Structure 1
Amino acid sequence: MTSSGTVMVIIGTRPEAIKLAPLVLALRALELPTRVCLTGQHPEMAAEALDPFGIAADANLALMRPGQSLSELTERAVGALALLLARERPAWVVVQGDTTSALAGAIAARQAGIPVAHVEAGLRSFDLSQPYPEEINRTLIARLATLHFAPTPGARVNLRAEGVPDAAIAVTGNTVVDALHRTLRDLPPAVPADRRLILATLHRRENREAAFPEIIGALAAIAARGDVEVLLPRHPGCPPGIYAPLEACPAARLVPPMPYPAFVAALAAAHLVVTDSGGVQEEASALGVPTLVVRALTERPEVVEAGTALVVDTARGGILAAVTRLLDDDEAHRRMANASTRIGDGKAAERIARRLHDELHAARRPAA
């Protein structure tokens, strides 16, 4: 198959859109023909996340169906992407992170003989059930990728331990920091609030049953203090009734998924964050917002090593104790409220784009 010389960027979810938007802009700044494909895994949210960056999708596969299982989505995504790649004939396919769309993109590309660039490569929890299916997806993508753009030195160590050649790995920082910095520049000045803001984000598949009542119960108890506001954007994958205890709290505000600029503004204004999200751990660490990770473990140890995050698991009592300490102990809060550059310095997309630029031009160079 003769290549068209383009770079195909595959995006499935809102986090992928946020993290890949800076790369799309960086590729286009180097005048590399770049195409953006949405799989539709997050039907509206991914396109909405691209909009503040001035990026529109070139293709939307609209793959989601009611009640669709992960295996059904994977099968349909691989098939639809295979047809798209046969038609578009890109020189490279770029996937990000650990979603079903990223895995399907890597499979379809390698089956078509197209090299794969994996952005945010090398993250590991070393437990295939946590997070699920993300840990499975990212370890499989590592076997398929041609270039591995690791966000941190620790991620590179993980890849090397799995046998990935050093020449195929580049430590770049995480592109989420690029997106964060770009968005912060355009935000209006913050308005002082009467109460301290606790920003919460919850969506992990493995948390939605037994853990969610514990986490929501802890957040409701915190909101009842009267001196804080709890802000929680609802995730479309979570059953609406799961939030009921928090909905009854006057000091809690449950909102639809927030546009990325509004979310960044809330994050920057937050006194602390309670989250099971990977990306939010990174964004909060870059801003120096103390973060409590309501999971058993994190594949982003750098945020814990930087002192900006603490893994507190999902038990109500443990969450409540950790939040109370950060609200009532100024010194404990101060120790965690230090911005870190371990996740990235805001130039990751530029580094990735330059490497892809060099790879494309090397491929076009006639043999000596």
Structure 2
Amino acid sequence: MKKILFCFGTRPEAIKMAPLIEEGLNRGHDVKVCITGQHRDMIIPFLEFFQIKVDYSLDIMRENQTLSSLTSNLLSKIEIVLKDFQPELVFVQGDTTSTFTCALAAFYQKIDVVHIEAGLRTGDIYSPFPEEGNRRLVTPIAKYLFAPTEESRANLLEEGVTENVVVTGNTSIDTLRKTITKIRSGQLNDSLRERYKDINFKKKIVLVTVHRRENHGQPLIQICNAIKELASSREDIEFVIPVHLNPNVKECIHASLEQFDNVHLYKPLEYIDFSWLMYMSYLIMTDSGGVQEEGPYFEKPILVMRENTERPEGVSEGVSKLIGSDSKLIINEVNKLFDSCEYYSSFSKNKNPYGDGFASEKVFDYLG
């Protein structure tokens, strides 16, 4: 039995940590969960759905805080948790500021760090910012590096990291597999359909998520212009857009799109709702890293509205396409996917490169 601390702050981290926490408990380890506080209100309902108990809640968010103040505040608070629990392993996931800071705090206490989703790279340290820098900084601190794909593993080997590098697939697929199983086996499907009865499911659903810093400003305006044109010109589309709470995103999207009857703008959705909407969608437009991994599970085309991606496997395998934020290109791609069955089906013919839904078991098989 090992003493294991799971540290995370955002909902995407929680989604990818949940099956690992469950697996650790199932194998008899002494597991504690620490949430740092970025997405607390969004995380708690998700953790309750998976019956995960929070042992430490740090509540670090402050209005208008900088990355520096966030990092220093978290570093001092996580130190208290580490000294209280004294874990043998600290699990961190991905590339958030919580990921980097919790790994650094563990390193200062000479505690072994387990990095889940290691090895992702864009090659540009400022894109995405600060995520690319965070994940690069965690690499030399971590003792165990679980890469989601062979390409991620190759990135680490290229940097000279050779010990304890293991390809597992992405744990988000584990969570998605379990979630969809629960939806299909119970009454959730009917209740979700009732909850979103304003959406005309007889039409084809285009699910859109956009929030990244590099799309703020003119790129987001271009994306909204494309959606406006498509919503106006196509009667067979229903756009569904969970709107990020960042004012730079929220104000632009509402000003551009709230007047359209076939554009449905929602507050950020709970994980269960969003997973179901991916399941119900015809195609997905996104700048999210997590959605790039999860969408192919449903064999839906993924249009990635970014200039580059740290998840190139989806592009190379043909389950997603990198299109940036240019309005004309977005419009052309969506029209082509609606008008050409052959083009649409070409996305679903390819294997999901992000895993088989059993990554968590592979992680603990290796750790013993």
TM-score normalised by L of structure 1: 0.93
The superposition leaves residues 248-299 of structure 1 with CA deviations (integer Å, 9 ceiling, x where unpaired) of 2110011111111111110011111000000101001122110100000111
Distance 2:325 2:3 in 1: 45
- Alignment size in residue pairs: 353
Counterpart among 177, 184, 205 of residue 180 in structure 2: 184
Deviation, structure 1 residue 5: 4.3
Distance 1:210 1:353 in 2: 45
Deviation, structure 1 residue 168: 1.4
Tell me which residue corresponds to 1:212: 220
- The answer to whether the 8 A contact 1:287-1:340 is kept is no
- The answer to whether the 8 A contact 2:305-2:324 is kept is yes
Q: Does 1:31 align with 2:28?
A: yes
Counterpart among 165, 189, 200 of residue 169 in structure 1: 165
Counterpart among 225, 235, 239 of residue 226 in structure 1: 235
Tell me which moved more, 234-243 or 201-210: 234-243
3-state SS of paired residue (1:187) = helix
Counterpart among 234, 244, 251 of residue 241 in structure 1: 251
Alignment of 1:260-339 (within 5 A): 260-338=271-349
Deviation, structure 1 residue 42: 1.4
TM-score normalised by L of structure 2: 0.93
Deviation, structure 1 residue 83: 1.5
**AA in 1 matched with 2:175:** A
Counterpart among 236, 255, 264 of residue 253 in structure 1: 264
Deviation, structure 1 residue 305: 1.8
**AA in 1 matched with 2:144:** L
Structure 2: runs of 5+ lacking an equivalent: 194-199
Alignment of 1:101-180 (within 5 A): 101-165=98-162, 167-180=163-176
**AA in 2 matched with 1:295:** R
Tell me which residue corresponds to 2:197: none
Tell me which residue corresponds to 1:95: 92
Identity rate of aligned residues, in percent? 37
**AA in 1 matched with 2:112:** P
Alignment of 1:5-24 (within 5 A): 5-24=2-21
Distance 2:266 2:359 in 1: 31
Deviation, structure 1 residue 44: 1.1
Distance 2:201 2:173 in 1: 26
Alignment of 1:53-92 (within 5 A): 53-92=50-89
Deviation, structure 1 residue 353: 2.1
Deviation, structure 1 residue 70: 1.4
Tell me which moved more, 25-34 or 207-216: 207-216
**AA in 2 matched with 1:322:** E
- The answer to whether the 8 A contact 2:314-2:352 is kept is no
Deviation, structure 1 residue 232: 0.7
Tell me which residue corresponds to 1:48: 45
3-state SS of paired residue (1:116) = strand
Tell me which residue corresponds to 2:204: 196
The superposition leaves residues 56-104 of structure 1 with CA deviations (integer Å, 9 ceiling, x where unpaired) of 2111100000111112111111111112111111110000000010001
3-state SS of paired residue (1:203) = coil
Distance 2:219 2:347 in 1: 25
3-state SS of paired residue (2:37) = coil
Structure 1: runs of 5+ lacking an equivalent: 359-368
